Structure 1
């Protein structure tokens, strides 16, 4: 299988390449394109790619502009840090997507999904207009408050005051910057979808961390990282090698 990556961030393209090669070493990366212009130049000449990974926001514009200038029948998996409106649009239009920072398991699932399906007979650009309209709508209003049980009352806790969420023995808890812990009656996956990705990031299966809670990040063995937080957590918070680059990129936003 041959793949083209459209991504303007070097670290992100390198990480995606690493993950793709880890999942399937037989996948060939034909090229990495970093702009709308270079993509139009490349695709206007035709491509041997079986699949395209395409970031939405590029250095010189929105990647959807590519489809206004060239016709593509090659299946596309978009990568995006955008809000839920865009994600719903991808599903409606039968275009796959990966939410940044890219998760290895989700990437593998997307690749396997592509392999199990035949190529779409309908050019991708025919499905783009609705996506562009939705992307121009106002941003999603992220969760600002969690109502939690505390003794015999309910307390409103501001999301920005929560340093991190974590799951332990099936129970999800939120820990505030004042080191108070509250049970959150939700799944960690649901909480992740409600939070502003610029402020919160799920660094592993157990933790979602507020960037303001990060005290420092230390290198660990085999390319992993250890994230130290305030208030401190009793155990090591480890980031896998696959996610290490994305965590560093997120902290650099």
Structure 2
């Protein structure tokens, strides 16, 4: 069996080779790859690999990104140190994985599974895309503090204390749950990308609201919604018909 190992840690590669040869001395590692870019280059050309072991974290990104650029037409077994939540996603998507540190018995079982289901082990790109989105969302770090101006000083404002952001006559303001208002020297678009989407939602062009600040949602004409928040705001906060369904799903999640 001819194998390719995609791994950026030399010790991990050597350990995997040792275990493979302990299981079957006829296994031949034909290529070691340590990055997304080198993997794309390799799989862009013809090769005779029969199985790929691929770490998720590589020197220049996540290995799922390889599948965005090139089709890998041989089975892939991922090696990962991710938590159980992510591993459930692997199970659901019918993708093989080995949890680090790799156990010889589990590796042997994976190889046996490969032998018995060889023709069925190719991973569709749609599965890779779904897992890539999941891994990216779990790894992205969101802003926990905003540095805001207050009189002649700068103070750190915890994101968790902010009830909503809004545009007021061209100026961005952050309003806390205790009704304190602070000016921010940035754009609402930039703030939107820095916030955890599980907690904040941009309901329209003027407002980004924390879910805990929402008190009631009322139906409006033509499929629109009116959002009431606390602390209250004098301006009526309207969710368009186009965003109404998505917004309700977000609130119900």
TM-score, with length taken from structure 2:
0.52
TM-fit CA distance, 1:68: 0.7
- Structure 1 partner of 2:79: 79
TM-fit CA distance, 1:100: 0.5
- Structure 2 partner of 1:38: 38
1:105 aligns with 2:105: yes
Segments of 4+ moved more than 4 angstroms: none
Q: Give, in whole Å, the separation in 1 of the partners of 2:85 and 2:129.
A: 14
Structure 1 unaligned segments of length 5 or more: list them.
Answer: 140-253
1:128 aligns with 2:160: no
Shift in alpha-carbon separation, 1:121–1:113, aligned structure 2, 3 A = closer
- Structure 2 partner of 1:63: 63
TM-score, with length taken from structure 1:
0.52
TM-fit CA distance, 1:115: 0.6
Is contact 2:36–2:65 with CA below 8 Å preserved after alignment? yes
SS at structure 2 position matched to 1:22: helix
Is contact 2:7–2:13 with CA below 8 Å preserved after alignment? yes
Structure 2 unaligned segments of length 5 or more: list them.
Answer: 140-253
After the TM superposition, which residues 111-150 of structure 1 pair with which residues of structure 2 at under 5 Å, given as runs?
111-120=111-120, 123-138=123-138
TM-fit CA distance, 1:53: 0.1
Q: Give, in whole Å, the separation in 2 of the partners of 1:121 and 1:10.
A: 27
- Structure 2 partner of 1:5: 5
TM-fit CA distance, 1:63: 0.4
SS at structure 2 position matched to 1:71: coil
TM-fit CA distance, 1:22: 0.5
Shift in alpha-carbon separation, 1:124–1:48, aligned structure 2, 3 A = farther
Q: Give, in whole Å, the separation in 2 of the partners of 1:81 and 1:41.
A: 26
Is contact 1:71–1:123 with CA below 8 Å preserved after alignment? no
Map Cα deviations across residues 109-149 of structure 1 (whole Å, 9 max, x no partner).
1011101113237554232111112213447xxxxxxxxxx
- Equivalent residue pairs, number: 139
Map Cα deviations across residues 15-68 of structure 1 (whole Å, 9 max, x no partner).
000000110111111111011111011000022111100000000110011111
Q: Give, in whole Å, the separation in 2 of the partners of 1:27 and 1:125.
A: 27
Is contact 2:75–2:122 with CA below 8 Å preserved after alignment? no
SS at structure 2 position matched to 1:136: helix
Greater relative contact order, per chain length (Cα 8 Å cut-off, separation 6+): 1
Q: CA RMSD in A?
A: 1.5
